Amino acid sequence: MQYKRILLKLSGEALMGKRQYGIDPDRLAEYADEIKSVLDKGVEVAIVIGGGNIFRGVAGASRGMDRVQGDHMGMLATVINGLALQSALEEAGIQTRLQSAIKINEVAEPFIRRRAIRHLEKGRVVIFGGGTGNPYFTTDSAAVLRAIEINADVILKGTRVDGIYTSDPEKDSKAVKFDFISFEDVLQKGLKVMDTTAFTLSQENELPIIVFDMNKQGNLLKVVEGENIGTTVNL
3-state secondary structure (DSSP) of residue 129 = strand
The answer to whether the CB of 174 falls within 8 A of the CB of 121 is no
The answer to whether the CB of 214 falls within 8 A of the CB of 14 is yes
Rounded Cα–Cα distance for residues 230 and 224 (Å): 12
- Is 133 marked within a binding site? yes
- Is 10 marked within a binding site? yes
- Is 11 marked within a binding site? yes
- Is 136 marked within a binding site? yes
- Is 31 marked within a binding site? no
Q: How far is CA 234 from CA 49, 54, 68, 202, 231, in A?
A: 22, 32, 33, 9, 10
Rounded Cα–Cα distance for residues 10 and 181 (Å): 21
- Is 132 marked within a binding site? yes
Residue 129 makes CB contacts below 8 A (sequence gap 6+) with 49, 75, 78, 79, 81, 82, 83, 98, 99, 100, 101, 108
- Is 51 marked within a binding site? yes
- Is 67 marked within a binding site? no
- Is 219 marked within a binding site? no
3-state secondary structure (DSSP) of residue 126 = strand
Give the residue ranges of the annotated binding site: 9-12, 51-52, 56, 71, 132-139, 159, 165, 168
Give the residue ranges of the annotated binding site for ATP: 9-12, 52, 56, 159, 165, 168
Give the residue ranges of the annotated binding site for UMP: 51, 71, 132-139
